[in-house]
Structure 1
Amino acid sequence: MALAIAPSFMSANLLHVEDEIRALEPIADFFHVDIIDWHYVKNMCLTPQFIRAMHSATTVPIDAHLYVDNVDDELVQLCLDSGAGIITMPADVIGRSVHRFAHRIHSAGALVGIFLNPSQPVETVLPYAEVIDHLLLMSVDPGFGGQDFIPATYDRIRTACNLRKNLGLNYRIVIDGNCNADRFHSLAEAGADALCLGRGLFDCDPDTRRAGELTAQAINAINAELNRR
């Protein structure tokens, strides 16, 4: 599987969202939108209404990453109605209701994502791994950009790969947190399938289109190398 690119709009220029979308559509496999409620972590960012506005301007799938302390049916449905094609929920919040949420999301034709913070074992998802489409591993503590990448992430990726193989599943392994060009190759080697890219993309060049092109060039070169093996 080729390493996929998910530009993270937490780092986008929110004064020019449609321009950012147009600049990144050619290289984006999906867009990543952080919804942060001030309770799960002490930060706030974006909303389902933001996803609705993005969805009206693009056909690229949108991932609603819910850093939310009270995930409920109403919020999940609002994200679906707003156009999210992937709903990524915190494992430490939704464990008791994950099958109900997964049924609602899959019935709407969307994908189920679960995210694990660095302190949570990958094996946390074992009881419901069969309903997951995206397994997102945080490579920093949740909620804030610019944190140091946690090196143990590489082992966690390998654990997620082994779990997927042993269970005969096909969820996509997504990495989120300080993924930059210096780490792309190591992340791909470890088994990552997709990278959520904030500053690791947007800081490549002041022009977002050029930043996207540079990022895609780097990842395409890695994909070509891995495919030759």
Structure 2
Amino acid sequence: MAARINPSILTADFANLERELGRIATADLVHVDVMDNHFVPNLTFGPRMVESLQRVSPLPLDVHLMIDDPDRWAPGYAEVGAFSVTFHAEAAADPVTLARRLRSLGARAGIAVKPGTAIEPYLELLPEFDQVLVMTVEPGFGGQSFIESTMPKLALLREAVSGSGLDVWLQVDGGINERTIVTAAEAGADTFVAGSSVFNAGEPAEQIALLRAAASGHVH
């Protein structure tokens, strides 16, 4: 199975985002990190910016909400056309109701967990989600180092997804490069967010191909 590569525009040139999107057109989706300076200590995009990106992006948008009160705000991102909307388990009051709302608006529903959050409470809820994002760094900033101790969570998720026959994508985000993508794929990930390693490369398209090739032989 081919690995999905979703470059994060967190490390792109914000002054030239349309051009930057064109440089990653060979990827699978564009990962958009929405941060509110409350849930994480950083501030990035909001709904209007995502709507603008939606108009010019050659690829579907994979929106990752690192925000407080996603129960209130997440549906707005589905309404502007995001392909996938992922919110944090630690921030949502009612993850299942929110996931169902996102699906009803036509988006894939994703749930994310920080490195220190246990995955076991969410395993029985997997049918409610289209994607589970295991953060492999503390959310908030790009360029951090991969936390390998998050891999057992991925292995549990892969076992649960494979055993149930569900079509749930298992995504990792943080510190993904040619080496760590293999580690994550072997643990069970099939969808990979890469920011610095793509946008800091001379040729992003070549780096995307390199990452995809490195992971694809190990994806379950």
Aligned to 1:191: 188
| Partner amino acid, structure 2, of 1:169 | L
Q: Secondary structure of the equivalent of 1:76?
A: helix
Unaligned runs of 5+ in 2: none
Superposition pairs for residues 4-19 of structure 1, below 5 Å? 4-19=4-19
SS in 2 for 1:93: coil
Superposed, 1:195-206 pairs within 5 Å as: 195-205=192-202
Offset at residue 220 of structure 1 (A):
2.5
Percent identity between matched residues is 30
Query: What is the TM-score normalised by the length of structure 1?
Result: 0.89
Which consecutive segments of 4 or more residues in structure 1 shift more than 3 A?
A: none
Unaligned runs of 5+ residues in structure 1 are: none
For 1:67, the equivalent position in structure 2 comes to 66
Counterparts of 2:130 and 2:100 in 1: how far apart (Å)? 12
**Aligned counterpart, 1:167:** 164
Secondary structure at the counterpart of residue 9 of structure 2 = coil
Q: Please list, as runs of the form range in 1=range in 2, the aligned pairs for 1:141-152 lying within 5 A after superposition.
A: 141-152=138-149
Residues 64, 214 of structure 1: alpha-carbon distance in 2 compared, 3 angstrom cutoff: closer
What is the DSSP-based 3-state SS (H/G/I as helix, E as strand, rest coil) of the residue aligned with 1:145?
A: coil
Q: What is the rounded CA distance, in whole Å, between the counterparts of 1:41 and 1:226 in structure 2?
A: 32
Q: Name the amino acid aligned to 1:216.
A: A
CA contact (8 A) 2:3 2:192 kept: yes
Which whole-Å CA distance do the structure 2 matches of 1:221 and 1:39 have between them? 36
Structure 2 counterpart of 1:211? 204
- Give deviations 1:181-208, integer Å, cap 9, x for gaps: 1212222222211111110211222xxx
1:1-229 alignment, distance < 5 Å: 1-25=1-25, 27-73=26-72, 75-94=73-92, 96-205=93-202, 210-220=203-213, 222-223=215-216, 225-226=217-218
Matched length: 220
1:222 offset after TM fit, Å? Answer: 4.2
TM-score normalized with structure 2 length: 0.92
Encode CA deviations 1:120-170: one digit per residue, 9 max, x unaligned: 112131342111101000001111222221111222211110121233322
